[in-house]
Amino acid sequence: MSLVVGLMSGTSLDGVDAVLVDFSAGQPRTLATFWLPFSATIRQQALQLQTARHDEIHSAALLANELARCYAEAVRQLLVDAKVNAPQVAAIGCHGQTVRHQPAAGYSVQLNNPALLAELAGITVVADFRSRDVAAGGQGAPLVPAFHAATFGDPERHRAILNIGGIANLTDLNPGQPVRGFDCGPGNLLMDAWIERHRGLRFDEAGHWATQGRLRPELLDGLLDDPFFTASPPKSCGRDEFNIPWLERRLAGSERPVDVQATLLELTAVTATRAIGRWCGSPHELFVCGGGTRNLALMARLQHHLPDCRVASTDSLGQPADWVEAVAFAWLAWRTLRGEPGNLAEVTGARGPRILGAIYPR
């Protein structure tokens, strides 16, 4: 069987991306997609588990069960749309929902109950992708650069891939050079949290609210002073590092909310493009994926900071930008089933290539 389902629910906590991918021809071919939004309750519970709280082990276990039910429903509806039956699918690759990412302490926690998911879906599940890399001394993230290299590399063109989800991560694909990849900072996370607090919206449609504000250079400088941005790869981050309390500690208190939004957009653009200049050199092309591609103001700022580089979405490479990460976890699951490594040691800092994930038979 060559069909694999990929599931991704990322730092943005908006819902589950589900894709059905065919690997029969070698390169992944996406046959169907489905998106299932999270309920407000699931989202709030996941946010609460970002920090220590009373009875968090019990709360985490209950949320893991609820997430597995959401994942199973997303798979069910995906297969209905694709007119595919569960026995035709080799596996589900499920990343789970990250609630703590502490590789320096030797762990990264993605909530999921893969045994329950396998039971509900009737399909083998591959999950817990990060732990094996962390056990080998790596960051456990980002894992998608290996997929980017296999899918987007060009033998003649120097390309960079920028995924802008809640967190932004970069992959450098320079012909003849080792693949490099790392998290470069907050993507949509801070912008989404700020507009939700002040306007009750889940995200800034096309960056429209940010364009009504004025960049505050002194605030931007204070945000850029965080040592993460100048740290050398390998490196990864999440809500543990970048969150509303992190932002509030750097606010004077007199800023207009719309100006803060404009500055947060610039923060995402500047940290990504500076990281490209510092660690990737001068790529010919930057292809962007993730929800950030829909922020037209952000895409424009990326192009502004990279005037000699073509900036476009991965749509132009045949992989729709909204679904790249979900396809990547289908690809990682496919490699696990074949006994092939899924990490890049030069990206994560692990001691070597490792077969990732744990398999839960149907």
pLDDT tens figures, 131-161: 999 999 999 999 999 999 999 999 999 999 9
- 164 forms beta bridges with 168
User: For residue 51, what are the contacts with CB-CB under 8 A and spacing of at least 6?
Assistant: none
Residue 280, pLDDT score: 96
- 358 forms beta bridges with 127
- pLDDT tens column, 176-221: 999 999 999 999 999 999 999 999 999 999 999 999 999 999 999 9
pTM of the predicted structure, to 2 decimals:
0.93
Residue 13: band (very low, low, confident or very high) from pLDDT cuts 50, 70, 90: confident
CB atoms within 10 A of CB 294: 18
Residue 10: band (very low, low, confident or very high) from pLDDT cuts 50, 70, 90: confident
- Cβ pair 132, 150 in contact under 8 A: no
Count Cα neighbours of 310 within 13 Å in the Cβ-side half-sphere.
Answer: 10
Residues 232, 97: Cα–Cα separation, whole Å: 26
Closest CA to 290 of 131, 153, 171: 171
Structural domains of the chain sorted by starting position, each given as residue range(s) with its CATH number in brackets: 3-140+323-360 (3.30.420.40), 144-317 (3.30.420.40)
Residue 342, pLDDT score: 96
